[in-house]
Amino acid sequence: METSTLLRFPSANSDNAYTMTEKEVLEHLHTLLVEHFEVEPELIRPQARLYEDLGIDSIDAVDMVVQLRDLTGIRVPADEFKRVTTLQDVTKMIGQIVNEQQEA
Amino acid sequence: MGALKKMVAVLWRLWRLIGTAISFGVFGLGGLFVGLVVGPALYLIPASKRRAAIARRVIGALFSTFVEVMRFLGVLRYRIRMEAPLPSPPFVVVANHPSLIDVIFLIKLFPTADCVVKQAHWSNPFMMSAVRAANYVPNSNTADILAECAERLRKGTIMTIFPEGTRTVPGQQPRYHRGPALLALETGASLLPVKIRVNPTTLTKAEPWYHIPQRQVCVELTVLPAIEPKRSGSIRADSIELNQQLKALLTE
């Protein structure tokens, strides 16, 4: 998977484009979860809760922030990552960060 | 006869209420004394290993005295059982956390240990000088705690950590954080599980301090045999397994 996908992240002016990119981020996450965190692929869905459903604990979260940065170049503040519950929260947060970066 | 027995029981409970109030008073005065006199005095010593060692000795002595005061007042009795000899340092003391008094007993038991302590104490006027002088580890964020504890364990220390992070909420399944298991696997330090039973329960997350149980509180600490960390798969998988083993040992 090429790492530049997220650099082409569109701004959220079109609902369709936003959904698309969320999907792309989900794909990255999917690979990370399966290969690095040994999560069963069938458990992975947007509503899955990181800790309760996928067994991603606070140590994994630290790891995931680093991995996401390496994979996508996006720096997710660790403090904000603490507040996410579901996979969808993660993708939304990443979407927001990318949009902020583009506006800046 | 029945009425007399009842009256004795009521008086005994009333006495323990008074004893508990006195204990809190003693603890508060002790905190004030540490905060205003002992802590600042320790600050006269330049920050060093020696200062931390002295501070810990002082805290350990105060906590031991406090335990004896509570015992003398009849507020509680306690029993400490060793199921096996202590391992040689470095090791991580891991305990369940049913009550507020656990901390006092663990520090009494391992006064020289590096403890992971609630970060809020670093800005609490009663606690700040003591936790700072003792050079304890604040439970700031996962990455920093792990790095700091690993560094200390590599230097050969004893660390005391509550894997639950906070007191058990009665009736709820506690969540065991994987940090101690991961630290053991990463640094080769042993894990020393200490099982704490407080019976009947007191000073839990769900009770105010003046809720005095019918029977005298008994605190029982069982030091279980140390666990040597062994690697078999990925460090993540190994630490998850080791953590589950710990949780099974420490929860009822």
pLDDT tens, residue by residue, A42-81? 998 889 998 889 989 989 988 888 888 877 777 788 778 8
CB distance B240 to B99 below 8 Å:
no
Please, which residues 49-108 of chain B have a Cβ atom closer than 8 Å to chain A? none
The answer to whether residue B179 neighbours chain A at the CB level (below 8 Å) is yes
| Residue A47 belongs to domain with CATH number | 1.10.1200.10
User: What phi and psi values does residue B83 have, to the nearest 5 degrees?
Assistant: -85, -15
What does the pLDDT profile of chain B (252 residues) look like in tens digits? 689 999 999 999 999 999 999 988 998 898 888 888 888 888 888 888 899 999 999 999 999 999 999 999 999 999 999 999 999 999 999 999 999 889 999 999 999 999 999 999 999 888 888 899 999 999 998 999 999 999 999 999 999 999 998 888 888 889 999 999 999 999 999 999 999 999 888 877 777 878 888 889 999 999 999 999 999 989 999 999 999 999 999 997
Residue A6 lies in a domain: no
For CA atoms A63, A67, A69, A70, the dihedral sign is: positive
Q: How many residues does chain A have?
A: 104
In chain B, the residue whose alpha carbon lies closest to the alpha carbon of A82 is B141
Q: Does A5 score more than 70 pLDDT?
A: no
Residue A4 lies in a domain: no
The answer to whether residue A66 neighbours chain B at the CB level (below 8 Å) is no
Domain range for A42 is: 13-103
Contact B142 A38 (CB under 8 A): no
Contact B179 A59 (CB under 8 A): yes
The answer to whether residue B142 neighbours chain A at the CB level (below 8 Å) is yes
The answer to whether residue B182 neighbours chain A at the CB level (below 8 Å) is yes
Mind spelling out the 3-state secondary structure of chain B? CHHHHHHHHHHHHHHHHHHHHHHHHHHHHHHHHHHHHHHHHHHCCCCCHHHHHHHHHHHHHHHHHHHHHHHHHCCEEEEEEECCCCCCCCEEEEECCCCCHHHHHHHHHCCCCEEEECHHHHHCCCCHHHHHHCCCEECCCHHHHHHHHHHHHHCCCEEEECCCCCCCCCCCCCCCCCHHHHHHHHHCCEEEEEEEEEECCCCCCCCCCCCCCCCCEEEEEEECCCECCCCCCCHHHHHHHHHHHHHHHHCC
Residue A8 lies in a domain: no
Residue-level pLDDT at B198: 92
**Euclidean distance between CA atoms A93 and B4, whole angstroms:** 67
Name every chain A residue with its beta carbon within 8 A of the beta carbon of B146: 59, 62
Name every chain A residue with its beta carbon within 8 A of the beta carbon of B181: none
First to last CA, chain A: 27
How many domains are there within chain A? 1
Distance of residue B236 Cα from the nearest chain A Cα, in angstroms: 8
pLDDT confidence bin for A24, thresholds 50/70/90: confident
Amino acid at B77: R
3-state secondary structure of A44: coil
Strands B190-199 and B114-117: unpaired
Residue A27 lies in a domain: yes
Please, which residues 20-49 of chain A have a Cβ atom closer than 8 Å to chain B? 37-38
**Euclidean distance between CA atoms A50 and B14, whole angstroms:** 49
Contact B177 A58 (CB under 8 A): yes
